[in-house]
Amino acid sequence: MKALKPLILACGLAAMPAFAQVSVSVDTGKPGPVINKNVYGQFAEHLGTGIYGGLWVGQNSSIPNTRGWRNDVVGALKELKVPLVRWPGGCFADEYHWRDGIGARNKRPVKVNTHWGGVAEDNAVGTHEFFDLVEILGTEAYINGNLGSGTPQEMAEWLEYMTSDTKSSLAELRRKNGRKAPYKVAYFGIGNEAWGCGGNMKPEYYANLYNHYATFLKTPPDARPKMIASGGNDNDTRWTEVLSKEAARGTDGISFHYYTLPTGVWEKKGAATGFPESEWFSTMQQTLRMDQHIKQNVAILDKNDPEKKIGFYVDEWGTWYDVEPGTNPGFLFQRNTLRDAVVAALNFNIFHAHAERVRMTNIAQMVNVLQAMIITDKEKMLLTPTYHAYKMYIPFQDATSLPVAVDNDVAYSSNGKGVPGISATAARAKDGKVYIALVNTHPTRASDVTLNVAGLTVGGVAGQVLTADAMDAHNTFEKPQAIKPAPFSARAQDGKLTIKVPAKAVMVFAVEA
């Protein structure tokens, strides 16, 4: 702590009391919308070692696996109760031709992954392998189709190949390749980042293409996936405006991408570890912009889609730092620290607050890439702080949101700017219990939180807390459990419940009588 004092003065961070006094109120009598479990969706792109090495090792590997998918990683993901996986991209999706990834693996063409590192892509993981993973995990599939370099025919034929229960040539080809029953495609995205790597289009042009492609995407009536239009990013709301008017027919969701960069500058994003407190603060500030981005887009949807048929899907989000020195820049590998867990939890709380429209999100990405759940190195595997945050928040999947008010919060401020010191969310889970999550954004100041729950007699709370001494605390293969959740409980005294929330902490607990 002493080592931080000169830094605090240098970057203009305001002096703060050792403890902040905060009041958090929850009203159980006014239930809100359900928090869709798919808010906790994941993303696996053909990028770096995200799939090859991280998830897939092949059936002949010495690393224990099931149908080529490594058992340790799959087991850890199953514990997260992953509801949804997006595949094959990302930018990779708009150069992916699905026929390259079917049939005998030793006869599949080898391509160059031009987006990510210029490495060889041998197409060992294709449609059948991906659905093996989906079925092993017990999750749902979100397939992203190739609009950028593909054709309506190619996209339509892929959907038919996956979902047809007829005797068509494509359905018979699927059966020949080892899958008799149709696959269940829960969501289907028509293109990705059409404003950038997906084609550098204007929203009006993409809307026409979307309608064109969507016209030919046909499935059996009971097998039609929810269709997703490729939307905007950051402050750009034009995509939501245009798509909600021009491509609304049959559209279930409009996607949105936002990444948290400590500096806000793509060319020099900031380091994943060893960063100063000024970059901890700026990271909190940058990630909390997600709330305003969602509000702006939801306002447009409420105007153009008052019946609320269209969801707002944040299908790429997370932290993005400078790549780890000595690694392939195109592999997007970065360390994952306590800061990332705090960022994840802040975003969960934001998504819960907009549960009516935000019905799916997909963090980037699942293994070894950007804000990963899991890091692997050959046969070794470790769980990241972000993994632990996801696991702590499992009770919120398909829970009924409850209104929360945070009062008397001392802001975390720097150079005249501030962010909330405490972020909170609450919901009644499927098990009937009320769960509350608290996030302390301040890296050095703890908070005394007085908890008031209208409609319940609160005797105490019990759950877990995730924190550490260092802002950049992270797990390594030498110390894979350096940071992990610890049990937490508190009891009411004289009818009052006060919870001590440590600095830079994520806390999730159930309310007890």
> Between helices 152-163 and 127-137, what is the axis angle to 10°?
50
Beta carbons of 123 and 109 less than 8 angstroms apart: yes
Give the Cα separation of 502 and 134 in Å (integer). 38
Beta pairing, strands 84-87 & 486-491: unpaired
Give CA separation, 21 vs 218, 407, 443, in Å.
Answer: 57, 9, 16
Give the Cα separation of 476 and 41 in Å (integer). 25
**Which 3-state string (H, E, C) describes 77-110?**
HHHCCCCEEEECCCHHHHHCCHHHHCCCHHHCCC
Give the Cα separation of 103 and 176 in Å (integer). 9
Beta carbons of 364 and 319 less than 8 angstroms apart: no
User: Which is catalytic among the residues 95, 193, 246, 279?
Assistant: 193
Give the Cα separation of 396 and 326 in Å (integer). 39
Instruction: Label residues 44-67 b or e (16+ Cβ within 10 Å = b).
Output: bbbbbbbbbbbbbbbeeeebebee
Quick check: is 135 catalytic? Answer: no
User: Which is catalytic among the residues 316, 324, 356, 478?
Assistant: 316
Phi, psi at 294, each rounded to 5°: -65, -45
Summary count for the chain: helices (H), strands (E): 11, 26
Give the Cα separation of 354 and 371 in Å (integer). 22
Quick check: is 356 catalytic? Answer: no
Tell me the catalytic residues: 193, 316
